[in-house]
Amino acid sequence: MKTSISQYIDDVAKQARRAANDLATATGETKQRWLERVADMLVEKSDVILRANEVDVSAGRDKGLSEALLDRLLLNTSRIESLADAVRKISTLPDPVGEIIESNKRPNGLLVTKVRVPLGVVFFIYESRPNVTVDAAAICVKAGNAVILRGGSEAFHSNQALFSVLQDSLREANLPEAAIQLVQTTDRAAVGELLKRGDLIDVTIPRGGRSLIERVSTEAQMPVIKHFDGICHVYVDATADEATATEIVINSKCQRPGVCNAAETLLMHSEAADRFWPNLAGKLEERGVELRCCPRSIAGTQSGIEATEDDYRTEYLDLKLSVRIVDTPREAIEHIRRFGSGHTESIVTNCLATANLFQTVVDSAAVMINASTRFNDGGEFGLGAEIGISTDRFHARGPCGLREITSYKYVVHGTGQIRK
C-alpha cells in the first residue's frame, strides 16, 4: 500500500507541475470564463452536490460530530448560491499574472521590469468546510497556479461532488484538468508523501487546527504559509472616547468570537479605566462575555474572575476576554510583545503621538488605529478574496489573496547592451 500511495502521489505532483506550466500562460479571459462556468455549474448541479453532502452529514451525525461541526459541514441551496456568488466575484478580479509590478529604466538604456508570475503548484490542506474546496481552487487557478487539494475526511463525498464540477468546467474551458486535483485517498500517508515533494510543489498552505499546521511545518520540504493563533489585543488609551472604545471593544470581541481576528485581551489605560471601565464591563457582561481580570480591573465588574498568566496566552475563540489595566502605552505595547501572536492589535486613542508610537512599535500583521480587530480580512482589505491569513513574516503576511500566491520574474528589454 505504501508504495502504491507514493506512486500515486508522484503522478499527482508531476501532473500538477505540467498543468502549472500550461496554466502560467493561460489568458485572463480564459480563466474568467472558466470561473463563470464554475459558478453556473454549481447551481445547475446543486442536486448532486446536496445529495453527496447528505451522505457526509449523516455519517458525521453517526460519528457524533458536534452540532457546530455539522453546521460547518452542511450545504444547502442558499449556501451553494453564496458559493457561486463568491466564485463570480473572483472571476471579475483583475488577472494578477503578467502585471508589471515595477520598472526601472537604467542609464545604459535597459528597461528592467518586474513581472508577476504564478507561484506554480500549491498544495492546500484544509479541514471540514466543503465550500473551501471551490474557493481555494478558484483563487489558485485564477492566479495561474495548479492546486492539489486535500480536504477533511468528514467532507469526502461533498468534496468529490464539488471536484467533479471543477473538473467538468476545466474541460469545457480547455484548461488542463490537472490544474485542480483532489487527493483520492483519506490515507494520511498521502500528505506525508506530498510534503516531501519540494521538487514539484512550490508552497503548502495548511488551514486547520494547530496540530495540522505543526505537522505540516515540521515535515514540509517546501515553503509553508502558516495560519497560527490570533491572540489579538485592543488597547484603549487614556484619551479614548468612551463611545468609540465601547463599540470597538464589543465588536472586536463579540461580533464573531470564534474566528482568529476576534480580540482575546483588552488592555486599558488607567485613566480611561477610571472614566468608563465599569460601564464597558457591564456592557460586555450583558452580552455574556466572561471577564478574566487583573487585580485592578476586577473591581469594576459584576462577575469577573482573576486572570492567570496562561489566560493572557490563550486564544479563547469564545465569549471570554482577558483584561488588564496599564499605566502607559509602553506598558500595553510590552504586554502585546510578551503575550501576543503577531496577528492583529487595535488601539483606540485621540492622541496622535500615541497612535504613531503604537503603529510603529507593535509588530503584528495588522495594526488598527480606531477600528475593530475584525477588519483583518482579505475582503475587508480589498484583496477581493482570501485563501488564509498568514502569521508568517516571510513572503506573505496577513490576508493572502491572489497576489500572495504569485512570484515574479525580471524581464529586461535591451537593444544589444553588454556588460562593461
Least separation in angstroms between CB 10 and a copy of itself: 19
Whichever of 183 and 367 has its CB closer to a copy of itself, that residue is 367
CA 210 to chain centre: 14
- Where are the strands (E) in 69-188, listed by range? 100-105, 111-118, 121-126, 146-150, 180-182
Q: Does 370 contact a copy of itself by CB under 8 A?
A: yes
Q: Does 106 contact a copy of itself by CB under 8 A?
A: yes
Whichever of 307 and 405 has its CB closer to a copy of itself, that residue is 405
Least separation in angstroms between CB 135 and a copy of itself: 20
Q: Does 268 contact a copy of itself by CB under 8 A?
A: no
Residues with Cβ within 8 Å of 406's Cβ and at least 6 positions away in sequence, in order, are 96, 97, 116, 117, 118, 119, 143, 144
Residue 249: strand, helix, or coil: helix
Residue with cell 488605529: 369
Please state, in angstroms and as integers, the Cα–Cα distance from residue 125 to each residue in 46, 194, 209, 242, 299, following that order: 24, 11, 11, 43, 46
Order of strands, sheet of 121-126, starting from the edge strand that comes earlier in the sequence: 180-182, 146-150, 121-126, 203-207
Q: Which of 35, 70, 117, 281 binds a copy of itself (CB under 8 A)?
A: 117
Q: Does 274 contact a copy of itself by CB under 8 A?
A: no
Whichever of 328 and 417 has its CB closer to a copy of itself, that residue is 417
Q: Which of 162, 238, 325, 371 binds a copy of itself (CB under 8 A)?
A: 371
Whichever of 315 and 380 has its CB closer to a copy of itself, that residue is 380
Output b/e per residue, 182-216; b: 16+ Cβ within 10 A: bbebebeebbebbbbbeebbbbbbbbbeeebbebb
Residue 369 backbone phi and psi in degrees, to 5: -110, 115
Taking CB under 8 A as the binding criterion, the range among 85-93, 128-136, 276-284, 364-372 that sits at the site for a copy of itself is 364-372
Q: Does 202 contact a copy of itself by CB under 8 A?
A: yes
Q: Which of 374, 388, 400, 402 binds a copy of itself (CB under 8 A)?
A: 374
Q: Which of 52, 248, 325, 332 binds a copy of itself (CB under 8 A)?
A: 248
Q: 306: part of which helix (H) or strand (E)?
A: strand 305-306
Burial of 31 (0-12, 13-18, 19+ CB in 10 A): buried
Least separation in angstroms between CB 195 and a copy of itself: 14
What mask, x for binding a copy of itself by CB under 8 A, covers residues 329 to 348? --------x-----------
Residue with cell 529604466: 105
What mask, x for binding a copy of itself by CB under 8 A, covers residues 207 to 236? ----------------x-------------
Residue with cell 498552505: 205
Angstrom distance (rounded) from CA 146 to CA 377:
24
| Binding residues for a copy of itself (CB under 8 A) | 21, 24-25, 98, 104, 106, 110, 112, 117, 119-120, 202-203, 223, 241, 243-244, 247-248, 250-251, 255, 337, 359-361, 363-372, 374-376, 380-382, 393-395, 397-398, 407-419
